[in-house]
Amino acid sequence: MAFKKLYIPDANIFLSVLLDETESMEMSRAFLQDAFLGKIDLLVPTLWGYEICNRLSRVRPLDAVKTLEEYHGYKMLCTHHGLTESIIEQAFKIIKTYPVSFYDASYHALALVTKGTFVTLDEKYYQKTKGLKHVIPLGEY
C-alpha cells in the first residue's frame, strides 16, 4: 500500500484561489485539486484559519462572509494541528536563525516535526530557509 505525501500548505495558496489572484491561482488550484482527489494529504496549523479570515476581512470586507463559504470547503480538506511544544520550539529555532515571522515558521516547523513538506507561495521565505529542507515553493510541487 502506497502512502500519500503529506503537505503543509501556507494560507496564501488557499487565498490565491479564494481571492482570484491570477498570478498564482492556477498552480494553487492544481495543488488543491490533488488534495480533493485524495492524491495528497494536507495538514495545517490551527493559526491557518485566522490568517485566512484576517486577509479576507482586509481585502474583501463587504463579501468576506460569502467568501468564507468557499473557505469552509477547503477547511474540510485539511487536517488541523495545534501548536504543540515541539512545534513551537522548532519555530523558535527557525526564527533564531532566519529573519522570518512566527506565523511562517510555524508552518515550516509543523512540516519538520511531522516529516511533511511545507509548500509556500512566499518566495522570500523559501529563499531564506530552503537550507532547512522540508520546504518547497508551490512552483516545484
* Least confident window among 40-44, 77-81, 87-91, 112-116: 77-81
Share above pLDDT 70 across residues of the chain, in percent, rounded to a whole number: 98
What local confidence, expressed as pLDDT, does residue 69 receive? Answer: 75
**Residue 102, domain CATH:** 3.40.50.1010
Which pLDDT score is estimated for 46?
92
Mean pLDDT to the nearest integer, 74-93:
92
**pLDDT at position 40 over 90:** yes
Residues 59, 42, 60: CA angle, nearest 5 degrees: 10
Q: Provide the residue range defining the domain that includes 56.
A: 5-140
Domain count, the chain: 1
> Is residue 68 packed enough to be buried (19+ CB in 10 Å), middle (13-18) or exposed (0-12)?
middle
Contact call for residues 58 and 51 (beta carbons, < 8 A): no
